[in-house]
Structure 1
């Protein structure tokens, strides 16, 4: 079996970069339409059970401080900011307390929604003898426009995302070829060792038989 922990880590890291590029490419919301605020925080070790809570905060363009916008914990979401009542839905991980995706969706965007949004992940990793708490945050600046326009940053991010996907696929093919050759070489070595052992046993048996005949 081919083991390459560094390779697996590089795949995960590149995947997270791709996800980040895809999420960060959207910074303009169109008035009177829906808009997704993406926020992803993946565990580095998937085998460790965990629970997570997600809190969103909002600071309008004319505000000085952030206000608590939304909270999601124990499969229950709560819209806290009255400016977003009946206009906000959970768009993240479903039917699990181990949240990886903390995205939300704003319905009927208004110009007053222009501002800075902050997503905060509070995750508790549950090991056999103790618990470990981790925090992650992401800030998104949204500008509400009459119609969607694409800036150079958005185009560059999308191009880089596709280039990275192609690079990742090529790297995976190289890894598969490397593992196949490693497994094939190990199999050939095992066959050679088995053949050498068989020949040694056969030679020893022949010598023993010759000795018995001479003694007779």
Structure 2
């Protein structure tokens, strides 16, 4: 039942999201994942929605990294439409994954290592250009990344899988009980019919003529 409810919930959510996207452009600030597996790629998700999309804006982005026991340093920047990577342990492993409207300014970290664990900071600065003045907006998004050697199983997914197996076992047992019940019911009906036929055949011929079926008027 829980799996069915989750399926229905995500199905309705997907339909609603598609409906909203068809009607009008929308930006949703989704938090980034915080767990990565050694040797795999990790998307450092940074979404900063614009509240006034009709206003012309210049966006600049800076990504910082701070190890668990260390100082913060700049690892990537996007300024005036140009990308640059300062010298850092991540140089050559970062890939820009942002959108054209610069509401999504995410990065992809390739070939994650255990040493990459730490705090990433996505600093987005927007300068809104109005007719009479300019206004700057700063937003910071932090990602506490934890890198493991093997992928950890999600407790929720494990629990859902266990519940699914329990449900399947219950349905199989219920179906088996129904089959046995129906088989016994059919067998009993056949035995009663066979006994009725046997009793009828055992009646003498002269008495069979008197065995008439009453007819209701």
TM-score, normalised to structure 2, is 0.57
Q: Give, in whole Å, the separation in 1 of the partners of 2:87 and 2:68.
A: 16
1:78 is aligned to 2:84? yes
Match of 2:59 among 32, 52, 56: 52
Q: Mapping of 1:9-28 within 5 angstroms?
A: 16=28, 19-20=29-30, 23-24=31-32, 26-28=33-35
- Bigger relative CO (Cα 8 Å, ≥ 6 apart): 1
Counterpart of 1:149? 152
More deviation in 65-74 or 118-127? 65-74
2:118 equivalent in structure 1? 115
Q: Secondary structure of 1:143's match?
A: strand
Match of 1:196 in 2: none
**Match of 1:166?**
none
CA contact (8 A) 1:54 1:102 kept: yes
For the residue of structure 2 that corresponds to 1:84, the secondary structure is coil
Post-superposition shift, 1:150?
A: 4.3
* 1:87 paired residue number: 93
Which structure features the higher share of helix residues?
Answer: 1
Q: Secondary structure at the match of 1:32?
A: coil
Aligned to 2:6: none
What SS does the aligned partner of 2:89 have? helix
Alignment partners' CA distance in 2, 1:103 and 1:150 = 25
Displacement of 1:139 in angstroms is 0.5
- Residue 47 of structure 1 and its aligned partner are, at CA, apart by 0.7
CA distance in 1, matches of 2:60, 2:151: 32
- What is the distance in 1 between the residues matched to 2:117 and 2:68? 6
| Structure 1: 4+ residue segments shifted above 3 A | none
* Structure 1 residues 197-208: aligned runs within 5 Å: none
Instruction: Give the unaligned 5+ runs of structure 1.
Output: 1-7, 156-216
Cα-to-partner distance string for 1:68-105 (whole Å, 9 max, x where unaligned): 111012222111142111111111123xxx52111011
Q: 1:81 to 1:134 in 2, by over 3 A?
A: same
After TM superposition, list the pairs within 5 Å mapping 1:30-69 onto structure 2: 30-63=37-70, 65-69=71-75
